[in-house]
Structure 1
Amino acid sequence: MPTLSPQQLEQIHRYWQASNYLAAAQIYLQDNPLLKMPLQANHIKPRLLGHWGTSPGLNFIYVHLNRLIRDTAANILYICGPGHGAPAMLANAYLEGTYTELYPAVTQDEKGMRLFFRQFSTPGGIPSHVSAHTPGSIHEGGELGYSLTHAFGAVFDNPDLLAACVVGDGEAETGPLAGSWKSIQFLNPARDGAVLPILHLNGYKISGPTVMARMPDEALEALFRGYGYEPLFVNGLDPLPAHLAMANALDEAYTRIKTIQDIARNQTETGGQLLRWPLIVLRTPKGWTGPKEWKGKQIEGSFRAHQVPLMDVKKDPAQLALLEEWLLSYAPDTLFDANGQLIPELAALPPQGDKRMSANLHANGGQLRQPLQLPDFREYALPLDAPGITTGESTVQLGKYLRDVFVLNDKQQHFRLFCPDETNSNRLQAVFEATNRCTMEPVLGTDDHLSPDGRVMEVLSEHLCQGWLEGYLLTGRHGIFPCYEAFVTIVDSMFNQHAKWLKTCQELPWRHSIASLNYLLTSHAWRQDHNGYSHQGPGFIDTVVNKKSSVIRIYLPPDANCLLSVMDHCLRSKNYVNLVVAGKQPELQWLDMKAAERHCAQGASVWEWAGNDEGQAPDVVLACAGDVPTLETVAAAWLLRKHLPALKVRVVNVVDLMSLSPQAYHPHGLPPEMFTQLFTDNAQVIFAFHGYVRIIHDLVHGRPDPARFHVRGFIEEGTTTTPFDMVVLNNMSRYHLAMEAIRRVPAIQAEAATALAYFNAQLEKHRTYIREHLEDMPEITDWKWE
């Protein structure tokens, strides 16, 4: 029996026509919004930008989801995978009134409609892709591939939320999207919401066919059943039968979802039948309802409908006439009244209030965000009697802290850990005292801390972890993303898109603050004992440092207590991307907790105990950022004090990388007077850095005499070797730093010959020793600060 009555069918079709009209008119019109007069060239925008091809299909899905919400009171978040579909998303936000609520100048009348059209893809207006400006959106639409992983992140711990995720067939070809289908193996219907993927196959990318659109239904069914879905097929060509088919498919999908959730939440028996999550495959022509052809070349149903189907309407009267025929085919005078308002019977179709998908609270997740309950990080401090004597593992201490974050937020269920590698490998294993790894697959006796209710999300896909976490944060929750440093660069593009999103949201007063995205890079370039050159790459710092200063923060804590202080700060922060780089291996610890707090609050400080300048003007400054560079720098200062005690050495440690930047470029930049207190205005600075050396040169540009900064860091030399050999290969060892300091102080040259000879001899001894003994020299492995 059809889901829709004849009256419903007619109203849904007419509402679809209204949204299609608005989508097309946004691309073309700057005036005459209701076509009350014959269309003329001066009514057309001077630059035609935007994408029509996917818009009618998105509108089709939207109006049917509205009907489902009205019938069931479902809480549905519309996630638009085709980022080019902004005309559709904006059209529906306008029809629902949300757009006017957020942009009051764009009223729901003829004047407002004219402004609405003029705003689209024009200077000072709204971008042509789905963006933060678009009500109801939760991600930037410029890059494809992330819609489905965002949808799953959004519904984790949101038991009443249904994310209707439209996956474009072009997007379906991307690696991240292809990996996202497996997310149902991590979706627990007892505590999570549901995702309804709607694979929208309209046949073409910008100029070529899409893979899945050319696959027959039988092949698609086999593929998705293999993933664990039950596909429902809707073929849209003739609109009226398509409306009926879509309504029936949505009702069946929704019923199946509620049945799965009821079974999981109420222990209902299934009779041994495995229920699969539904998925809708919707086939429609590209540019559906648009112009059929131009000069004998097909438009609707071809790649020519992808962007602007008729490009020369302003100059070609025949094209202008065809555009007018196209727009009038929607009969706008029967959809909008003389004042430009949607007629009452159509205005009554969408849901009301925050049931509107364009006003869904989860699409502006800061409205729902609750503060994370955090333990006192000081209780996890490593006690130190003196610097450089105690050995500890920084991430082990952090793991204990994160364990108790899970405990304190158990009832709220708004914190998760997303890890593509392995939580134990990153030395965060203490979290398993409070929670488990999540899986919906069978659990075997050989498994370790694995259960459906686990809150540690481990999957060997950086894309999935990043996307899940983004979706989780964007809908008002909190999380952390530990990752191997070399492989986090896999998500460079995803980070870029999220950072752009945050930057834009900060400029929109109606966007509420969300929790920061927190990266913890642990298995870093300098300690890859089990791996080698393939795992040695600190390039993610370069990616992050170039984003807007209002968004990014970069921390390199040198020891466990600094890591605890930094991470507590990051978990409390909002609207940032926080990058924290900290080693997981046993290493010397430098600061007690009180000193660590002061150091992290300032961002950089002089370690007076490590130098011998005694507050006087130093001959040379040894600076460092990162745990391994800190070790080598302090050891270099020790060597210089021992072999050249007359040389006045100052040691400066930098924990907040952006503190090096002038304040004009980053809000964390040290004030000029404080920068001078640390580095002086003229002393030579030997800087040992965790990453690629050019970053430090870029950051200190604009500081006094930046040419005096001589940076040692990763210079793309590596292999499977000993820890000390890694710093030797990259000319950042304590001996290299000490010799560089000597070279930069002419007055000390005469008495430095013996020390230089010793340092060079030690380097040669090292090379011989590791090849014979396969480990570092005792004077390296057993070294402590005296």
Structure 2
Amino acid sequence: MTSGTRTTAEPAAVARTFAKEELRCVDALWRAANYLSVGQLYLMDNPLLTEPLSARQIKPRLLGHWGTTPGLNLVYAHLNRLIVAHDVNMMYVIGPGHGGPALFANTWLEGSYSENYPEVPRDAEGMRTLFRQFSFPGGVPSHVAPQVPGSIHEGGELGYSLAHAYGAAFDNPDLVVACVVGDGEAETGPLATSWHANKFLDPVGDGAVLPILHLNGYKIANPAVLARIPREELDALLRGYGYAPHYVVGDDPPTVHRRMAATLEEILAEIRRIQHAARTGRADGVRPRWPMLVLDTPKGWTGPHTVDGVPVEGTWRAHQVPLARVREDPEHLRLLGEWMRSYRPEELFDPAGRPRPEVLALVPEGDRRMGANPHANGGLLVRDLRLPDFRGHAVVVDKPGCCLSEPTRTLGRWLAAVIESNADNRDFRLFGPDETASNRLDPVYRVTDKQWQGEIHAVDEHLGRSGRVVEVLSEHLCQGLLEGYLLTGRHGLFDCYEAFIHVVDSMFNQHAKWLETARRLGWRRPVPSLNYLLTSHVWRQDHNGFSHQDPGFVDLVMNKKPEVIRVYLPPDANTLLSVADHCLRSRDYVNVIVAGKNHGPDWLGIEDAVLHCTRGLGIWEWASNDDGHPDVVLACAGDAPTLEVLAAASLLREHLPELKVRVVNVVDLMRLQPDTAHPHGLADREFDAIFTTDRPIIFAYHGYPWTVHRLTYRRTNHGNLHVRGYTEEGTTTTPFDMLVRNDMDRFRLVIDVLDRVPGLGARTARLRQRMRDRRIRHGQWVRRHGEDPPEVRDWCWRW
């Protein structure tokens, strides 16, 4: 079938130039992978079928998916032929969720699996282990997971494959990333957006992505949308996305092999023409129309045609295990034997279970094997970023709170230096959904553009064909591109409005699970951490209102394994610099940084900031007057809570100078946990020394109050802990009114102290009333003037 037309003609005259022997070897490799895939679904023993199948050789629980597997095996075999013929540096990303049998089979055949798992050699015993371990207790999952060599994509959830592929291709100019998109996966929101990633791929400095839309017709129980629309409509859709689609359609193996080989030759030639024109200055300046492949083959191809009198191949019934009662039904057992023998295993494996030379004739060698490509184990290639000393970008703090700055703008100036320092190795990118300037990181535009391959108009700013910033208004796509970039060994930062990072909750889950699993695999090398910068946060979304006010992402993050998760709430510009430097140096973590973009007080000079961030939390002696014996501890985590706690401490000094107040600031939220629960946790004796064992603790927290209780419930003094935070009271109002509405304002904190310190209640009744009156007067003021009163707006630390 030629590019973009519905015809049975074979693509180009080269379709018949392939030697019969070459296509015979491709077919042998495909049949071998299919045989191994079926064996993984069903068998515990008798891997070479050297004796009649019996029920005792069948797994008691049949778990796995067959429907997509033969198509995935076909693509793998033909990509191998292309790699060998043209020495292509190629990765393979699988989108169909449970395509695990295909990847386990192909990496075992090429040898990369046995190299990483010597206990699964390429012989009969290794084949038996390969079969038995699949979807089996203590074994491997049914989807493409970190355990599979050559994978960077967790197949447990659909929608992210194409974004990962494009992220892998960024800044890898000689890499071709083949990405199979299932027709079911193509219905997901993230995947639908990911088609637009071609608008950001630079043919000069980036590699190429080959999307392969696998149309096999069905999902679990329903037809796939793209498989049921007219071919002309599908073609128009894909061309509308900016691709040049090529089609391979059929169910006759010899014919499909010829068409597939010829089509991939044509596609590779197109990719190289596009790159050559761009890299030699001969391109016309128009965004290239990259080729893609549409593979239309039956679901469950080569499996049972009918079972129990109903059609299976080419229907939704082939999605999982076509023969579901093999242990109980002799007819199903007989059909399984016929099915596996249809691949003629005696032609594929010798008596010892080793793949025969014909099967391996077109398997690449060394790093050219897709299961051994170093980019798919990015820690093998990762280089440390050149990080300029952030101290040179610090704000000067002569006295705590005496001056104001925008923390993220300060960070932006340092990130510009980071980009400049790594200009030659191109190992760092900034990703965000159209918010880089809004989040005050726009100083980076002094040294880089936003990468953009579309039209550029005279009024546009900072758009260029090659840049270190990728902005697209899809949190899904930003996350997916960054994940692909990190897993192939590069570094990055994702900045986002705090409330809308929830769009990628599920993507974060999958990446965190990937890291958790990969850390347990000795052959997977550590990769750069996934770094989130959450700003435009809940306490300064007063103008946008309730829809933009949600600090709950941190709560989700904390559900993951402590070995992977880090959460930081720097209270000012200098602590943000120190935290960001630490995060960009780290490996195998998910780092969440929550920081404000608006003008706020600078509390710590840079050296004090470094010390404080290194400790993770600490007593601010300059703000405390407890002389080592506090009556109350005022604790805070986050920039707005820090300001309110210090304002409350100031009020207490003014009105109750005899009260001994200790101020504690928390930067690393995980320090609140015991050291037995998190690597950053604080030992009980240290926690008790700082927070005391018997004094009231008033804690102002950036997010939901119960989060702090969750982290500290095992501490000695938890019964005296009272937490203020966001309680889902939001609207369009002033910044301070947001605090009042959620009972985290300075006046409410003072009242909390009066209510909880023994002996203060009766004798401080007047002060308590004055604090309540100031809250009331504040509400009247903002409704009259539309802004916070000067006493709040212009407050500064004076002690």
1:207 to 221, 228, 231: 221
Residue 646 of structure 1 and its aligned partner are, at CA, apart by: 2.1
Distance 1:103 1:250 in 2: 32
2:658 to 621, 640, 646: 646
Does 2:637 correspond to 1:637? no
Aligned residue in 1 for 2:784: 772
One-letter code of the match for 1:394? P
Distance 2:280 2:382 in 1: 28
Contact 1:644 1:755 in 2 (8 A): no
What CA deviation, in whole Å up to 9, does each residue of 1:484-531 have, x standing for no partner? 000001000000000000000100000001000110011000001431
Q: Name the stretch that deviates more: 702-711 or 163-172.
A: 702-711
Aligned residue in 2 for 1:716: 728
What CA deviation, in whole Å up to 9, does each residue of 1:330-351 have, x standing for no partner? 0101110000001112222200
Aligned residue in 1 for 2:775: 763
Aligned residue in 2 for 1:475: 488
One-letter code of the match for 2:306? E
Match of 2:647, SS state, is helix
Flag the 1:495–1:275 CA change in 2: closer, same or farther, 3 A: closer
Moved over 6 A (4+): none
Distance 2:245 2:154 in 1: 28
2:119 to 102, 105, 112: 105
Contact 2:543 2:733 in 1 (8 A): no
Aligned residue in 2 for 1:696: 708
Structure 2: runs of 5 or more not aligned = 1-13
Residue 457 of structure 1 and its aligned partner are, at CA, apart by: 0.4
Flag the 1:564–1:81 CA change in 2: closer, same or farther, 3 A: same
Aligned residue in 2 for 1:423: 436
What CA deviation, in whole Å up to 9, does each residue of 1:568-607 have, x standing for no partner? 0000000000000000000111111111111111111011
Distance 1:434 1:678 in 2: 44
Contact 1:354 1:360 in 2 (8 A): yes
Does 2:539 correspond to 1:520? no
Contact 1:421 1:484 in 2 (8 A): no
Q: How does 1:11-50 map to 2 (within 5 A)?
A: 11-50=25-64
Distance 1:183 1:437 in 2: 14
Aligned residue in 2 for 1:172: 186
What CA deviation, in whole Å up to 9, does each residue of 1:412-465 have, x standing for no partner? 001000011321111111101110111001211101111111111011010011
Contact 2:32 2:359 in 1 (8 A): no
Aligned residue in 2 for 1:686: 698
Contact 1:608 1:614 in 2 (8 A): no
Match of 2:314, SS state, is coil
What CA deviation, in whole Å up to 9, does each residue of 1:639-658 have, x standing for no partner? 11111122211111000000
1:485 to 478, 498, 512: 498
Does 2:520 correspond to 1:507? yes
| Percent of aligned positions that are identical | 58
Contact 2:55 2:326 in 1 (8 A): yes
Match of 1:748, SS state, is coil
Contact 2:543 2:734 in 1 (8 A): no
Match of 2:293, SS state, is strand
Task: Give me the TM-score of the superposition, normalised by structure 1.
Answer: 0.99
Does 2:239 correspond to 1:225? yes
Aligned residue in 2 for 1:86: 100
What CA deviation, in whole Å up to 9, does each residue of 1:527-582 have, x standing for no partner? 01431111000011111111110001000000001000000000000000000000
Aligned residue in 2 for 1:377: 390
1:532 to 531, 545, 558: 545
Contact 1:554 1:578 in 2 (8 A): yes
Match of 1:199, SS state, is strand
Contact 2:151 2:376 in 1 (8 A): yes
Distance 1:693 1:286 in 2: 51
Residue 702 of structure 1 and its aligned partner are, at CA, apart by: 1.4
Distance 2:414 2:288 in 1: 39
Aligned residue in 2 for 1:781: 793
2:342 to 321, 325, 329: 329
Distance 2:374 2:463 in 1: 32
Distance 2:153 2:24 in 1: 33
Match of 1:526, SS state, is helix
One-letter code of the match for 2:601? L
Q: Name the stretch that deviates more: 239-248 or 173-182.
A: 239-248
Match of 1:752, SS state, is helix
Distance 2:456 2:283 in 1: 20
Does 2:565 correspond to 1:552? yes
Structure 1: runs of 5 or more not aligned = none
One-letter code of the match for 1:516? S
Aligned residue in 1 for 2:327: 314
Contact 1:27 1:49 in 2 (8 A): yes
Aligned residue in 1 for 2:172: 158
Q: Name the stretch that deviates more: 766-775 or 213-222.
A: 213-222
Distance 1:488 1:400 in 2: 24
Aligned residue in 2 for 1:120: 134
Distance 1:112 1:255 in 2: 39
Contact 2:456 2:463 in 1 (8 A): yes
Contact 2:25 2:361 in 1 (8 A): no
Aligned residue in 2 for 1:132: 146
Match of 2:648, SS state, is helix
Does 2:762 correspond to 1:750? yes
Q: Name the stretch that deviates more: 349-358 or 419-428.
A: 419-428
Q: How does 1:333-482 map to 2 (within 5 A)?
A: 333-482=346-495
Flag the 1:8–1:536 CA change in 2: closer, same or farther, 3 A: same
One-letter code of the match for 2:274? I
Distance 1:54 1:225 in 2: 25
What CA deviation, in whole Å up to 9, does each residue of 1:675-711 have, x standing for no partner? 1121011111111100111110110021113122111
One-letter code of the match for 1:580? I
1:579 to 580, 587, 592: 592
Flag the 1:783–1:196 CA change in 2: closer, same or farther, 3 A: same
Contact 2:103 2:148 in 1 (8 A): yes
Contact 1:565 1:597 in 2 (8 A): yes
Residue 116 of structure 1 and its aligned partner are, at CA, apart by: 1.0
Distance 1:370 1:124 in 2: 34
Contact 2:542 2:731 in 1 (8 A): no
One-letter code of the match for 1:700? T
Q: Name the stretch that deviates more: 148-157 or 8-17.
A: 8-17
Residue 122 of structure 1 and its aligned partner are, at CA, apart by: 0.8
Residue 615 of structure 1 and its aligned partner are, at CA, apart by: 1.6
Distance 1:216 1:104 in 2: 49
What CA deviation, in whole Å up to 9, does each residue of 1:164-197 have, x standing for no partner? 0000011000000000011111001010000000
What CA deviation, in whole Å up to 9, does each residue of 1:57-84 have, x standing for no partner? 0000000000000111010100001120
Q: How does 1:133-282 map to 2 (within 5 A)?
A: 133-268=147-282, 275-282=288-295
Contact 2:692 2:717 in 1 (8 A): no
Aligned residue in 2 for 1:606: 619
Distance 2:44 2:246 in 1: 40
Measured on the aligned residues, the alpha-carbon RMSD in Å equals: 1.0
Contact 1:155 1:193 in 2 (8 A): yes
Equivalent pairs counted in the alignment come to 784
One-letter code of the match for 2:103? M
What CA deviation, in whole Å up to 9, does each residue of 1:692-751 have, x standing for no partner? 111101100211131221111011111111000000000000011110111011311122
Distance 1:175 1:747 in 2: 59
Match of 1:7, SS state, is helix
Residue 274 of structure 1 and its aligned partner are, at CA, apart by: 7.2
Distance 2:743 2:531 in 1: 31
Match of 2:621, SS state, is coil
One-letter code of the match for 1:169? D
Residue 216 of structure 1 and its aligned partner are, at CA, apart by: 2.1
Distance 1:313 1:562 in 2: 63
Aligned residue in 2 for 1:62: 76
Aligned residue in 1 for 2:11: none
Aligned residue in 2 for 1:655: 667
Contact 1:647 1:748 in 2 (8 A): no
